[in-house]
């Protein structure tokens, strides 16, 4: 087989085998970048395909609206709104579910099902069992994870408190819904399948329980193709205003869909940012190794041209070497990227409630990765390849002109005289080749930067938890009421067993507008002296609750383009629905959601009503927690209950699992990047200086001194790269945090000393491993063969 190859191709195979270790190191760097790119692109594609297929098959609505109560006949007027293809009404409410073996009260979103069959819109996917039969008041369908978390199977029963009446229902079906891919309770930030779920019941049952005979309190719409949802939303709001409409919104603001789309956008950001680092380093390494190969083969290049090989043939020969290394990296990267993409989707399957996963990566992701890799390596080696094709045969047959050395101020300084000769040799070489030194240092620094980026996420999550749950929240439980109640409800709550402190706040839905930008947003009304949930700025600490205006989060301020002192328009979407203009009194920083806060008295004045609250914040004596929980289960006015410690535990359980995987993967990639840079730097240095080092050995230098001269350069570069790498890691982390920031979450930039130290240790350990490998080759250096080699 080898005999059938041309002379040039046989030489190519010999060169690749001779450079196999260096070529493999570069291929691994390329593979890491390709794997990251393919993972992000295929995950983005799979998430998008899965959600699109799920939405289409089960007809997720384009527009949603909730209201207090409207007659069923209103559906005909809704269907006449221009652009509406189909509309469907339903009854939705919150209820308390009592599981005998679970001490805490559990909240559920109860959704009505049509009398016959599945809904037309927002269809549910039965995973087991059947839908409730007509006329059966004791049958229900439970969300799959909700049922699994409490061990409820088909035929099991649960107790549901609906409008003060407790009824026992039999679970006849287990289901999922495209409306609840990411299901979180009111005021929560993470799914908690033990404490919040969804339950479907016959509409006729809910009509009787909630006094909704021939009425509804939610409506969903699908639109004709190409219809702008905003005019439809405006028309629907106008139609529902007299019925207590709380503001219609499009699919883009539907909570579950927002979380899914945020993940898709973050995968897109990941595909753009991180692989670029690996491709840049791959370009540098390719240029470095090809430059060395072409410098060593000047004589062969001259012979090729003297024997009649064209300039194009010579250039193509060396380009094939680059493409062979790149091709190996692409193949390994494609395999690893495909596996990571599938693994990534299994992690998402644990977070998102999909009935199926579509992971069929098309050729586009692999083609993009291949093109990016080839462009990086060919572009990186372009200068070296140009030098090869432009080298005249006569000049190529002669050795290159030796570099010109001259005495510098450093060599004559007292500092230099104080050093030993090997150290002076190291520093002189680093100073005489500043470009090569700078690129090698930057390569090590970038590998450290990627590792810092991965590891600092743990610090950032800890900061979010500390700020949100220990500085801005001090209550043990948050109790949401079905409807706003007078302030004397605080006295009733204070009388519950174990309650030490209770505070109230009012949440209303509003539309905030500034110039031509508007957002549907909840407004929180807080009392003076609130200690359980104070107005908290992540950077400034506690702030006074503003009177006569609003305090707005920095994220919402950026969205609306406002700052302190500006005047915004508030359209309250509840009660008398007043439209007022209020000043922005304070802008505060928070990492979760985009809250707007005002004084409870100010909010009550705007709504033209006496002060009322619909949320209770409670501190409970741990000794009476069981009695407190039992009392909550019997309270009919409660819509949902959230426990701070449960949210913290769930947050850590969810984040830590995925975060540890993320950090582990990036640690491997970072070490691969560092290995590729350091190993190639050392091997090229050994090849370039083997004659010099052999001469020193003959002159009497020991193996330790020779190793110190060669490896000391890399040691100095590694130590110098540490502050640069940490700085680059901080910049990269800041950039990623900015790109990943959404209205739901912002990641603070926190890098603790321990994190930077551990990342540094990992990279320095990689440097030591590379040094030991090259030291072994140096110890086995054939002095006679090296000294016979032509300079």
Q: Please report the DSSP string for 285-317 in residue order.
A: HHHHHHHHHHHHTHHHHHHHHHTT--HHHHHHH
pLDDT value of residue 1: 45
- 504 DSSP β-pair partners: 616
- If pLDDT is split at 50, 70 and 90, which confidence band does 326 have? very high
Separation CA 784–CA 691 (nearest Å): 10
What is the distance of C-alpha 366 from the center of its chain?
22
The pTM score is 0.80
Which positions ≥6 away from 515 have C-beta within 8 Å?
561
Highest mean pLDDT (candidates 77-91, 163-177, 423-437, 486-500): 77-91
- Between residues 203 and 649, the one the model is more confident about: 203
Separation CA 361–CA 353 (nearest Å): 21
- Between residues 675 and 786, the one the model is more confident about: 675
Find out whether 689 and 294 touch, Cβ atoms under 8 Å.
Answer: no
Composition of the chain by helix, strand, coil, percent to 5:
55, 20, 25
Highest mean pLDDT (candidates 239-243, 398-402, 516-520, 773-777): 239-243
Separation CA 502–CA 500 (nearest Å): 7
pLDDT value of residue 643: 83
The answer on pLDDT for 298 being more than 90 is no
The answer on pLDDT for 400 being more than 70 is no
**Alpha-carbon dihedral sign for residues 264, 269, 272, 277:** negative
Find out whether 592 and 745 touch, Cβ atoms under 8 Å.
Answer: yes
pLDDT tens, residue by residue, 110-146: 999 998 888 999 999 999 999 998 878 889 999 999 9
Question: How large is the average pLDDT for residues 32-58?
Answer: 92
The answer on pLDDT for 251 being more than 80 is yes
- Between residues 329 and 314, the one the model is more confident about: 329
- Between residues 753 and 442, the one the model is more confident about: 753
- If pLDDT is split at 50, 70 and 90, which confidence band does 441 have? confident
What is the distance of C-alpha 276 from the center of its chain?
17
* Torsion angle of C-alpha atoms 339, 344, 346, 347, degrees rounded to 10: 150
Separation CA 479–CA 493 (nearest Å): 10
Say if residue 264 is exposed, middle or buried (CB neighbours under 10 Å; 0-12, 13-18, 19+): middle
pLDDT value of residue 781: 61
Helix/strand/coil for 790: coil
Which positions ≥6 away from 125 have C-beta within 8 Å?
58, 175, 176, 177, 355
Find out whether 166 and 98 touch, Cβ atoms under 8 Å.
Answer: yes
Q: What angle do CA 400, 401, 407 make, to 5 degrees?
A: 135
Separation CA 153–CA 128 (nearest Å): 9
Separation CA 614–CA 472 (nearest Å): 19
Question: How large is the average pLDDT for residues 730-758?
Answer: 84
Question: How large is the average pLDDT for residues 229-256?
Answer: 90
- 26 DSSP β-pair partners: none
Q: Where are the alpha helices (DSSP H) in 360-487?
A: 363-380, 382-390, 393-396, 409-412, 414-418, 421-432, 434-465
pLDDT value of residue 246: 81
Highest mean pLDDT (candidates 90-94, 188-192, 406-410): 90-94
- If pLDDT is split at 50, 70 and 90, which confidence band does 783 have? low
- 160 DSSP β-pair partners: 97, 167
Separation CA 600–CA 711 (nearest Å): 68
Separation CA 105–CA 92 (nearest Å): 19
The answer on pLDDT for 732 being more than 80 is yes
Q: What angle do CA 78, 118, 82 make, to 5 degrees?
A: 20
**Alpha-carbon dihedral sign for residues 339, 341, 344, 348:** negative
Find out whether 124 and 200 touch, Cβ atoms under 8 Å.
Answer: yes
The answer on pLDDT for 470 being more than 80 is yes
Helix/strand/coil for 277: helix
Find out whether 758 and 452 touch, Cβ atoms under 8 Å.
Answer: no
Please name which of 311, 295, 293, 312 lies closest in space to residue 393, comparing C-alpha atoms: 311
Distance spanning both ends of the chain, measured CA to CA: 35
- Between residues 230 and 271, the one the model is more confident about: 230
pLDDT value of residue 120: 92
Mean pLDDT of the chain: 84
pLDDT tens, residue by residue, 646-686: 878 877 777 766 777 777 887 888 888 778 878 877 777 77
The structure tokens listed for 42 are 């295929």
Separation CA 424–CA 438 (nearest Å): 19
**Of all helices (H) and strands (E), which one includes residue 686?**
helix 644-698
Which positions ≥6 away from 467 have C-beta within 8 Å?
536, 538, 590, 591, 748
Question: How large is the average pLDDT for residues 311-339?
Answer: 88
pLDDT value of residue 373: 92
The answer on pLDDT for 304 being more than 70 is yes
Question: How large is the average pLDDT for residues 308-334?
Answer: 87
The structure tokens listed for 639 are 């819509």
Which positions ≥6 away from 386 have C-beta within 8 Å?
none
The answer on pLDDT for 60 being more than 70 is yes
């Amino acid at each position: 087989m080898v005999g059938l190859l041309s002379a040039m191709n046989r030489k190519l195979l010999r060169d690749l085998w001779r450079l196999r270790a260096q070529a493999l190191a570069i291929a691994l760097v390329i593979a890491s970048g390709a794997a990251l790119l393919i993972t992000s692109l295929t995950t983005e594609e799979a998430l998008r395909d899965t959600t699109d297929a799920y939405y289409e098959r089960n007809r997720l609505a384009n527009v949603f609206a909730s209201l207090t109560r409207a007659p069923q006949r209103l559906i005909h007027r809704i269907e006449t709104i221009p652009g509406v293809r189909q509309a469907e009404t339903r009854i939705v409410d919150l209820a308390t579910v009592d599981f005998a073996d679970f001490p805490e009260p559990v909240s559920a979103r109860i959704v009505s099902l049509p009398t016959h069959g599945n809904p037309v819109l927002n269809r549910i996917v039965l995973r087991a069992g059947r839908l409730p039969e007509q006329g059966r008041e004791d049958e229900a369908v439970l969300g799959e994870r909700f049922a699994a978390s409490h061990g409820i199977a088909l035929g099991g029963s649960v107790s549901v408190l609906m409008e003060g009446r407790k009824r026992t229902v039999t679970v006849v079906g287990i289901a999922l819904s495209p409306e609840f891919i990411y299901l979180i309770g009111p005021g929560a930030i993470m799914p908690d399948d033990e404490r919040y779920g969804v339950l479907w019941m016959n509409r006729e049952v809910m009509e009787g329980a909630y006094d909704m005979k021939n009425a509804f309190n939610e409506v969903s719409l699908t639109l004709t193709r190409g219809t702008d949802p905003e005019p439809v939303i405006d028309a629907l709001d106008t139609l529902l205003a007299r019925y207590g409409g709380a503001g219609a919104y499009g699919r883009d603001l539907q909570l579950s869909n927002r979380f899914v789309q945020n993940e898709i956008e973050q995968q897109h950001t990941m595909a753009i940012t991180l692989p670029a680092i690996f491709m840049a380093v791959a370009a540098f390494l390719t240029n470095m190794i090809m430059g060395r190969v072409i410098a060593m083969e000047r004589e062969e290049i001259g012979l090729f041209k003297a024997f009649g090989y064209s300039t194009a043939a010579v250039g193509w020969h060396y380009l094939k070497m680059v493409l062979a290394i790149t091709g190996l990296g692409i193949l390994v990267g494609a395999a690893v990227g495909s596996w990571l993409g599938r693994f990534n989707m299994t992690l998402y399957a644990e977070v998102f409630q999909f009935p199926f996963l579509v992971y069929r990566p098309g050729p586009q992701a692999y083609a993009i990765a291949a093109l990016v890799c080839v462009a990086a390596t060919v572009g990186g080696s372009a200068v070296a390849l140009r030098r090869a094709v432009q080298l005249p045969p006569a000049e190529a047959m002669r050795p290159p002109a030796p570099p010109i050395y001259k005495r510098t101020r450093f060599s004559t300084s007292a500092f230099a005289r104080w050093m030993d000769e090997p150290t002076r040799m190291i520093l002189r070489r680093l100073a005489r080749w500043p470009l090569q030194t700078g690129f090698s240092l930057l390569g090590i620094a970038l590998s450290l930067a990627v590792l810092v980026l991965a590891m600092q996420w743990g610090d950032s999550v800890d900061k979010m938890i500390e700020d949100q749950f220990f500085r801005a929240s001090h209550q043990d439980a948050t109790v949401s009421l079905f409807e706003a109640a007078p302030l004397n409800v605080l006295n009733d709550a204070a009388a519950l067993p174990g309650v030490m402190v209770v505070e109230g706040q009012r949440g209303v839905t509003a539309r905030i507008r500034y110039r031509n930008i508007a957002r549907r947003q909840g407004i929180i009304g807080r009392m003076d002296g609130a200690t359980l949930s104070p107005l908290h700025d992540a950077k400034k600490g506690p702030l006074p609750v503003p009177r006569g205006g609003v305090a707005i989060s920095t994220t919402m301020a950026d969205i609306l383009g406002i700052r302190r002192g500006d005047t915004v328009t508030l359209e309250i979407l509840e009660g008398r629905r007043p439209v007022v203009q209020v000043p922005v009194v304070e802008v505060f920083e928070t990492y979760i959601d985009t809250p707007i806060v005002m004084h409870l008295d100010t909010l009550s004045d705007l709504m033209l009503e006496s002060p009322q609250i619909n949320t209770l914040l409670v501190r409970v004596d741990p000794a009476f927690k069981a009695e407190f929980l039992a009392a909550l289960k019997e309270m009919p006015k409660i819509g949902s209950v959230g426990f701070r410690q449960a949210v913290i535990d769930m947050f850590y359980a969810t984040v830590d699992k995925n975060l540890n995987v993320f950090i582990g993967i990036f640690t491997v990639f970072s070490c691969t990047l560092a290995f590729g840079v350091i190993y190639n730097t050392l091997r090229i240095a050994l090849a370039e200086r083997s004659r010099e080092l052999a001469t020193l050995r003959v002159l009497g230098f020991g193996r330790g001194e020779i190793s110190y001269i060669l490896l000391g350069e890399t040691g100095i570069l590694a130590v110098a790269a540490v502050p640069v790498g940490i700085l680059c890691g901080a910049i990269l982390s800041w950039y990623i945090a900015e790109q990943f920031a959404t209205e739901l979450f912002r990641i603070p930039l926190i890098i603790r000393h321990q994190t930077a130290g551990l990342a540094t240790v990992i990279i320095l350990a990689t440097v030591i491993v590379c040094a030991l490998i090259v030291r072994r080759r140096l110890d086995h250096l054939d002095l006679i063969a090296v000294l016979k080699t032509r300079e």
